[in-house]
Amino acid sequence: MPRVEVTIGPQKHAFDMEKGESLLFEAISRSVMIPFNCTSARCGICRVKVLEGAENLNEVGDREILRLGEEKVEQGFRLACQTHVFGDVKLEVPQPRLY
């Protein structure tokens, strides 16, 4: 079973999940609250940054590239709703900027 470690601000969460399942749905089912609105890549709110294990995720899809932009994708950003986990991964949820 893949091990997922997620940092959200000062909180660190870790859980095991079934191989190939949705990162967003599995996180939420374990009360790891990655912010989201739509679950279909329309809103772009469920943005996560992959710190380790990018090779253990499905390939970045067109929806993610459209919503995030190529630069953010190259920096390791993904949409949790479009990300499926096949091996161990470490992620962080970027904190929103306060203006």
Record the pTM.
Answer: 0.93
**CATH match for 3-93 among 2.60.40.420, 2.30.38.10, 1.25.40.390, 3.10.20.30:** 3.10.20.30
Which of 33, 13, 30, 12 is CA-nearest to residue 21? 30
pLDDT in tens, 45-83: 999 999 999 999 999 999 999 999 999 999 999 999 999
pLDDT band at 99 (very low <50, low <70, confident <90, very high): very low
> How does pLDDT run across 16-33, given as a tens digit for each residue?
999 999 999 999 999 999
In eight-state DSSP terms, residue 80 is G
Secondary structure string (H, E, C) spanning 48-64: EEEEECHHHECCCCHHH
**Domain segments of the chain: what residues?**
3-93
pLDDT higher than 70, residue 97: no
Q: Is the pLDDT of residue 96 over 90?
A: no
